[in-house]
Structure 1
Amino acid sequence: MKKGIALVSRAPSIVPLNPADHDVYLVLEDFGGVLGRAWSETDEEDANRDTLINHLLDGEYIRPLRIVAFNTAKGWSRDVTVEIADELRRRFVELDEVAPSLLEFVERAAKR
């Protein structure tokens, strides 16, 4: 490294580029075995509540454990697992089939 030149990491941020009144939803998943638990990677456009619920219903998460929401512009964050599970439960009546991992998620959330 030359004097006066610093190396800067260019890893993408999970904080929205335009944080004005933008709630972000992230899912903690259990990938099992050696992979363990991790926060699922998601596109900025897909980190909203409606898209998250649709992705859960479509089976896009292997084994969701916890869901958190935050809004950096407003300065808050919270666990929304139970809230999302309640919304999913209400939508189950409209579905022909529900993934077993999603049923487990809703059952675990009900015990919180």
Structure 2
Amino acid sequence: MMRRSPSIVPHGADGDTYVVLNDFGKLGRAWCEADEQSADRKTLIQRLMEDQYSHPVRIVAFNTAEGWSRDVTVDIADELRRRFAEFDEVPRSVQEFLEIVVRR
């Protein structure tokens, strides 16, 4: 009998999950870890505005229950721009992220 690897998909993951590709400079790029409860869109926006990612360059959303994934970088950048008024200060990392998205 062939052994199966355990699934990396969170149990009960019936909502959309968001992951961030961060540029760590000389160390390269990597997808940042996020626990199951904080991989939603609302928390992602909050973490971006709290400057928790040093150099975000891409954001991908997926939903395993529905069987899809897509690049949502532009969608998130647009939402950040619309919501600037809600925040006292926009972190430099978010400003740079928006500049990267515009150049694409």
Instruction: Write the distance in 2 (CA, Å) between the matches of 1:65 and 1:99.
Output: 15
Structure 1 runs (4+) deviating above 4 angstroms are: none
Q: Which structure's residues are more often helix, by fraction?
A: 2
Structure 1 equivalent of residue 12 of structure 2:
18
Question: Could you tell me how far 1:111 is from its partner in structure 2?
Answer: 2.9
Unaligned runs of 5+ in 1: none
Matching residue of 2:34: 42
Whether 1:101 and 2:93 are equivalent positions in the alignment is yes
Rounded Cα–Cα distance in structure 2 between residues aligned with 1:104 and 1:93: 18
Match of 2:12, as an amino acid?
N
Matched residue, 1:71:
63
Query: Aligned residues, how many?
Result: 103
Q: 1:57 aligns with which of 49, 67, 70?
A: 49
Gaps of 5+ in 2: none
Per-residue Cα deviation, 1:67-105 (whole angstroms, up to 9, x for no partner): 000001101000000000000011112322111111010
Q: Residue type matched to 2:96 in 1?
A: E
Among all aligned residue pairs of Structure 1 and Structure 2, give the percentage whose two residues are the same amino acid: 58
Structure with higher Rg: it is 1
Separation in structure 2 between the aligned mates of residue 73 and residue 99 of structure 1, nearest angstrom: 34
Shift of 1:36: 1.0
> What is the CA distance between 1:66 and its match in structure 2?
0.1
RMSD of Structure 2 on Structure 1 (CA): 1.8
Counterpart code for 2:19: L
Match of 1:29 in 2: 22
Counterpart residue number, 1:88: 80
